[in-house]
Amino acid sequence: MDSVMWSRLLTAETLGFHIIWATIGVGVPIFISLAEGWGIYKKDPHYILMAKRWTRGFVITVAVGVVTGTCIGLMLSLLWPQFMKLVGNIISLPLFLETFAFFFEAIFLGIYLYTWDRFKNPIYHWLTSIPIIIGSTLSAVFITTVNAFMNTPQGFKLDKITGKISDIDPIAAMLNPSTPSQVAHVVSSAYLTSGFLLAGIAAYHILKGRKHDYYKKALRLTMISGFVLAILTIIAGDLSGKFLAKHQPAKLAAAEWHFETQTHAPLIIGGTLDEKTLEVKNAIVIPNVLSILAHNTPSGKVIGLKDIPRDEWPPLYIHYLFDIMVLIGVYLLIVSGLFLFCLIRKKRNEWNKWLLRSIVLGAPLAFIAIEAGWIYAEVGRQPWIINKIMRVDQAATTATQVDSMFYLFTALYIALTLIASMVLIRLFRNKGPEAELEKIASHSSGGMKNAT
């Protein structure tokens, strides 16, 4: 393999690994803050403890997120020097701002961790969680604008002959057409996934026979917000679909194996494709839905792949990734919706074993959806690194030792996964919240209600 392929593999591997931790890093602070805020408001030590315990695990994941984020930041220049040389000037503002946001988060995470008992009024401590949320979410926003720029570049002039870039408008480059839908989808899905991660943990313990109110409260908090977030994520996904139909038809068409430009385009789920005859078999075909997805009306015309030059087609396997992402999104909506339904209709039992199992399953599924969604979004842009501007093979490094770097980092990521999981398990195993709550209750005798 040449260094282009190795560079692609190493970038894919690093990003694929990073987004697991980055998703947790963006989403979990919301829930920590929600729990602490609600606990202070209700004077309920269960929620405060929830925030504390979530934070303990969060720090471990943040550390891995930080280091892998540094890796991908530097790898951009190491593996794709031609790309950075060309557009480094355009994307450096959001990259710079992302670092600022991260800096802000890092400072306040340090403060949050070490001031649990420093302030007389607990509100002050809770307030330091707000900059963490702002910082982590904004860094997701800024970095997503860079990715959005690669999908729909704008805000500069390219001289085709000299290959030089001029007339840069940094703000226009950041606020490119992809930005709104991509940012909305990235942020909402990160929140949703983190919600399901925390819900899955609570549900798992209830299934294991833990009866304490703590778990039920945790599950209610995460599932109620999870339901709202699932709706928001699906809306954001729908916006992305409409955006693709307009600005990146190749990606949408490849995802849907949509070859002929037509109105009343059907949505295809699953199936197999004969790459030579472009015949789709064994698929579930839902008439009109792709047109509705793309244009809100069955008579909307969706551009097919045959209208796009063959050497600009993305790989067609992304269809499956798209399906996985969408189906999991719907699954998460149904599960959290069912939980909510049972919660409101008192006659139903929201602690139904099958429902709890579905929630536990939802946690890994949500992460699979994140991975599938990102691979779909990235591979769907092939063969371009910057859509219609620069091809991937023109951007990669000419250095020859990328393969050894790939092995080195593969080993690192495997080790980090194993050790981080081990540390997290050790951190919580045999250290349930029940004992901690008893300790709190015996320390503050009386006063607090609900402190059972």
Partner 1 sequence: MPLELIGITVLWTFLYGYVIIASIDFGAGFFSYYSMLTKKEHIVSQIIDRYLSPVWEVTNVFLVFFFVGLVGFFPDTAYYYGTALLIPGGIALLLLSIRGSFYAFANYGARKSRIYMFLYGITGLFIPASLSTVLTISEGGFIEKVGENVVFHADRLLMSPYSWSVVFLALVSILYISASFLTFYADKANDIQARDLLRRYALFWSGPTILASLLVFWGISKHNPEHFRSMLDIAWMFVASLICFFVAIYLIWKKKRLGLAFTFVMLQFAFAFYGYGFGHLPYLLYPYITIQSALTNSTMGWALVIAFIAGLCLLIPSLYLLLRLFLFNAKYVQGRK
List the interface residues with partner 1, window 129-188 (CB under 8 A). 131, 164-166, 168-171
Q: Decide: 79 and 7 in contact? Cβ < 8 Å.
A: yes
What angle do the packed helices 318-344 and 213-247 form, to 10 degrees? Answer: 140
Beta strands 384-386; 279-281: pairing state = unpaired
Residue with smaller CB distance to partner 1, 106 or 308: 106
**Residue selected from 2, 41, 118, 349 as contacting partner 1 according to rule CB under 8 A:** 118
Provide the residue count of the chain: 452
Residue with smaller CB distance to partner 1, 114 or 354: 114
**Residue selected from 78, 278, 283, 451 as contacting partner 1 according to rule CB under 8 A:** 78
Tokens of 244: 């693709």
The answer to whether residue 407 forms part of the interface with partner 1 (CB under 8 A) is no
DSSP 346: T
Q: Amino acid letter at 50?
A: M
The answer to whether residue 449 forms part of the interface with partner 1 (CB under 8 A) is no
The answer to whether residue 106 forms part of the interface with partner 1 (CB under 8 A) is yes
Question: Shortest Cβ distance from residue 36 to partner 1 (Å)?
Answer: 18
The answer to whether residue 73 forms part of the interface with partner 1 (CB under 8 A) is yes
The answer to whether residue 115 forms part of the interface with partner 1 (CB under 8 A) is yes
Question: Shortest Cβ distance from residue 203 to partner 1 (Å)?
Answer: 24
The answer to whether residue 269 forms part of the interface with partner 1 (CB under 8 A) is no
The residue range among 111-119, 249-257, 292-300, 320-328 that interacts with partner 1, by the rule CB under 8 A, is 111-119
Beta strands 390-391; 267-269: pairing state = unpaired
**Residue selected from 5, 16, 89, 261 as contacting partner 1 according to rule CB under 8 A:** 89
- For 42-103, the DSSP string reads HT-HHHHHHHHHHHHHHHHHHHHHHHHHHHHHHHHHHH-HHHHHHHHHHHHHHHHHHHHHHH
CA 114 to chain centre: 28
Q: Amino acid letter at 308?
A: I
Tokens of 316: 């067609």
**Residue selected from 9, 111, 228, 441 as contacting partner 1 according to rule CB under 8 A:** 111
Residue with smaller CB distance to partner 1, 261 or 394: 394
Question: Shortest Cβ distance from residue 96 to partner 1 (Å)?
Answer: 5
The residue range among 25-33, 88-96, 228-236, 383-391 that interacts with partner 1, by the rule CB under 8 A, is 88-96
Residue with smaller CB distance to partner 1, 82 or 261: 82
Stretch 350-389: interaction string toward partner 1, x if CB under 8 A? ----------------------------------------
Question: Shortest Cβ distance from residue 60 to partner 1 (Å)?
Answer: 6
Helix/strand/coil for 426: helix
The residue range among 217-225, 281-289, 367-375, 399-407 that interacts with partner 1, by the rule CB under 8 A, is 399-407
Measured distance between the N- and C-terminal CA atoms of the chain, rounded to whole angstroms: 63
Question: Shortest Cβ distance from residue 169 to partner 1 (Å)?
Answer: 7
Question: Shortest Cβ distance from residue 122 to partner 1 (Å)?
Answer: 16
The answer to whether residue 432 forms part of the interface with partner 1 (CB under 8 A) is no
Question: Shortest Cβ distance from residue 311 to partner 1 (Å)?
Answer: 24
Tokens of 318: 């992304």
Question: Shortest Cβ distance from residue 123 to partner 1 (Å)?
Answer: 16
Q: Decide: 199 and 363 in contact? Cβ < 8 Å.
A: yes
Question: Shortest Cβ distance from residue 403 to partner 1 (Å)?
Answer: 11
Q: Of 434, 32, 428, nearest to 201 (Cα)?
A: 428
Q: How many CA atoms lie within 13 A of 44 on its CB side?
A: 17
Which helix (H) or strand (E) segment is 220 a member of?
A: helix 213-247
Region of residue 261 (phi > 0: left; psi between -120 and 50: alpha; otherwise: beta): beta
Question: Shortest Cβ distance from residue 25 to partner 1 (Å)?
Answer: 11
- For 139-160, the DSSP string reads HHHHHHHHHHHHHS--SSEE-T
Site for partner 1 in 52-71 (CB under 8 A): 56, 59-60, 62-64, 66-68, 70-71
Which helix (H) or strand (E) segment is 284 a member of?
A: strand 284-286
Beta strands 165-166; 384-386: pairing state = unpaired
**Residue selected from 99, 154, 261, 288 as contacting partner 1 according to rule CB under 8 A:** 99
The answer to whether residue 414 forms part of the interface with partner 1 (CB under 8 A) is no
Proportion of the chain in helix, strand, coil states, percent, rounded to 5: 70, 5, 25
Question: Shortest Cβ distance from residue 142 to partner 1 (Å)?
Answer: 10
**Residue selected from 82, 262, 288, 394 as contacting partner 1 according to rule CB under 8 A:** 82
Question: Shortest Cβ distance from residue 147 to partner 1 (Å)?
Answer: 16
| Alpha helices for 152-212 (secondary structure H) | 170-174, 179-207
Number of residues that bind partner 1 (CB under 8 A): 71
The answer to whether residue 418 forms part of the interface with partner 1 (CB under 8 A) is no
